[in-house]
């Protein structure tokens, strides 16, 4: 599934399972949060990763960050399998890849000043820097995210959601990362602020040659920023392609259903194509259905769908999909 673009991250057969509800007399249940992912992220691109709550997209992002140890599979970063890294090599990897969290209200320590929040990663990765140098650098970073450097001594509660997310972005940039996992960075923000944050992230990407994995629960959020889009359902990627291809020629019934649920600003189009929300709930990852995981909700399901899992494969040029009927 490789294109001519240079691969920065290569994920193969990635699984992350958790045991939940384990006790002294209980064996617990196996949650198959991520259940066999295969995809590449190209240098300098934004890969959008989309799916409903509970589909495993955040777990996938955190496993790539090595915040979780994978249950199976490999993650190569610049050709090196990072699941085997230890000590200094792991620390260096952790510098190169950073995360921006969803909730700008809970991801910033309320007891620290903005300067201390932004310069915190420098304590780990650049212990040789003096306190004054760290604070001076934090002011520069605040300017990079279009905030007043005079805010350095203020506290998170003094800022709006959009401003807090900018502080979170400045913190992620402090150690000059190459790759950022953006874990639903605009989902908690007002719609009016979402576009500003996305524009800022695009400007920073251009200026700093960053690569993004941009996680969102809705296809409308990733359309503007993504070069390619991957759609996840119950721990698996069901479709992946270039952005325009996915939006104009969706192949998988799940992607088609997600697109039908997006409101369109054009009233004439909206009247001709009424919104259709997807029926049913995502099945439990503790007990996923046999065959295609989407079959209980799929209007196109046939007998084979209930028995055999479809293979995720290239159906047309650079367009990957897992569906028996495509």
Give yes or no for residue 298 binding ligand SF4 (CB under 6 A): yes
- 323 binding ligand SF4? (CB under 6 A): yes
Say which residue the tokens 């090595």 belong to.
66
> How far is Cα of residue 199 from the mean position of the Cα atoms in its chain?
17
Nearest alpha carbon to residue 236 among 210, 254, 209, 216: 254
Out of 134, 292, 312, 320, point to the residue binding ligand SF4 (CB under 6 A). 292
Residue 259 binds to ligand SF4 (criterion: CB under 6 A)? no
257 touching ligand SF4, by CB under 6 A:
no
Rounded to the nearest 5 degrees, what angle is found at the Cα of 12, between the Cα atoms of 7 and 18? 130
Residue with tokens 């990763």: 49
Of the candidate spans 7-15, 136-144, 213-221, 295-303, the one that interacts with ligand SF4 by CB under 6 A turns out to be: 295-303
300 is a site residue for ligand SF4 (CB under 6 A)? yes
State the nearest-atom distance from the C-beta of 84 to ligand SF4, in Å.
35
- Per CB under 6 A, the list member of 77, 101, 151, 294 interacting with ligand SF4 is 294
CA dist 121 → 95, 96, 153 (Å): 9, 12, 17
**Is there binding between residue 301 and ligand SF4 (CB under 6 A)?**
yes
Residue closer to ligand SF4, measured from CB, 233 or 247: 233
Using CA atoms, how far apart are residues 195 and 193, in angstroms rounded to an integer? 6
Stretch of residues binding ligand SF4 (CB under 6 A), selected from 4-12, 143-151, 278-286, 317-325: 317-325
Whichever of 119 and 255 has its CB closer to ligand SF4, that residue is 255
Q: Please say which residue, 177 or 310, places its beta carbon nearer to ligand SF4.
A: 310
Q: What are phi and psi of 76, to 5 degrees?
A: -100, 130
Cβ proximity of 301 and 309 under 8 Å? no
> Binder to ligand SF4 among 310, 314, 315, 320 (CB under 6 A)?
310
Size, binding site for ligand SF4 by CB under 6 A: 13
Beta strands (DSSP E) in 21-168 are 29-42, 46-50, 72-77, 80-81, 97-100
Can residue 295 be called a binding residue for ligand SF4 (CB under 6 A)? Answer: yes
Nearest distance from residue 184's CB to ligand SF4, in Å? Answer: 25
Q: Examine residue 305 and tell whether it contacts ligand SF4 (CB under 6 A).
A: yes
**Shortest distance, position 287 Cβ to ligand SF4, whole Å:** 17
Kindly tell me which of 115 and 310 has the beta carbon lying closer to ligand SF4. Answer: 310
Q: Cα–Cα distances in Å, from 171 out to 99, 216, 281, 298, 303?
A: 9, 21, 37, 42, 51
Q: Is 253 in the site for ligand SF4 (CB under 6 A)?
A: yes
Whether 182 contacts 145, CB under 8 Å: no
Helix (H, G, I), strand (E, B) or coil at 257: helix
Closest to ligand SF4 by CB, 191 or 311: 311
Instruction: Give, to the nearest 10 degrees, the angle between helix 114-125 and helix 161-173.
Output: 20
Interacting residue ranges for ligand SF4, rule: CB under 6 A: 252-253, 292, 294-295, 298, 300-301, 305, 310, 323-325
């Amino acid at each position: 599934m490789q294109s001519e673009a240079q691969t920065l991250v290569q994920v193969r057969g990635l699984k992350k399972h958790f045991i939940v509800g384990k006790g002294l007399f209980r064996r617990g249940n196996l949650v198959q949060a991520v259940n066999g992912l295969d995809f590449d992220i190209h240098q300098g691109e934004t890969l959008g990763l989309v799916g409903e709550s509970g589909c495993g997209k955040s777990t996938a992002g955190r496993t790539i960050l090595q915040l979780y140890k994978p249950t199976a599979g490999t993650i190569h970063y610049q050709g090196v399998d990072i699941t085997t890294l230890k000590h200094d090599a792991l620390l260096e990897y952790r510098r190169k890849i950073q995360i921006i969290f969803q909730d700008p209200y809970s991801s910033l320590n309320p007891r620290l000043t903005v300067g201390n929040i932004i310069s915190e990663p420098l304590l780990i990765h650049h212990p040789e820097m003096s306190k004054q140098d760290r604070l001076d650098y934090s002011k520069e970073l605040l300017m990079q995210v279009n905030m007043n450097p005079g805010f350095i001594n203020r506290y998170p509660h003094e800022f709006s959601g959009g401003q807090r997310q900018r502080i979170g972005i400045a913190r992620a940039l402090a150690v000059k990362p190459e790759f950022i996992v953006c874990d639903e960075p605009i989902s908690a923000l007002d719609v009016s602020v979402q576009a500003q944050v996305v524009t800022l992230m695009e400007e920073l990407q251009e200026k700093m040659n960053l690569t993004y994995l941009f996680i969102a629960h809705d296809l409308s959020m990733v359309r503007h920023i993504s070069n390619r889009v991957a759609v996840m359902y119950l721990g698996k990627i069901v479709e992946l392609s270039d952005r325009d291809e996915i939006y104009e020629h969706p192949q998988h019934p799940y992607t088609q259903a997600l697109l039908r649920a997006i409101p369109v600003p054009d009233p004439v189009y909206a009247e001709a194509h009424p919104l259709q929300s997807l029926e049913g709930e995502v099945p439990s990852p503790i007990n996923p259905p046999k065959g295609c995981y989407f079959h209980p909700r799929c209007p196109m399901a046939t007998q084979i769908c209930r028995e055999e899992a479809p293979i995720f494969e290239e159906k047309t040029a650079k367009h990957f999909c897992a569906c028996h009927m495509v």
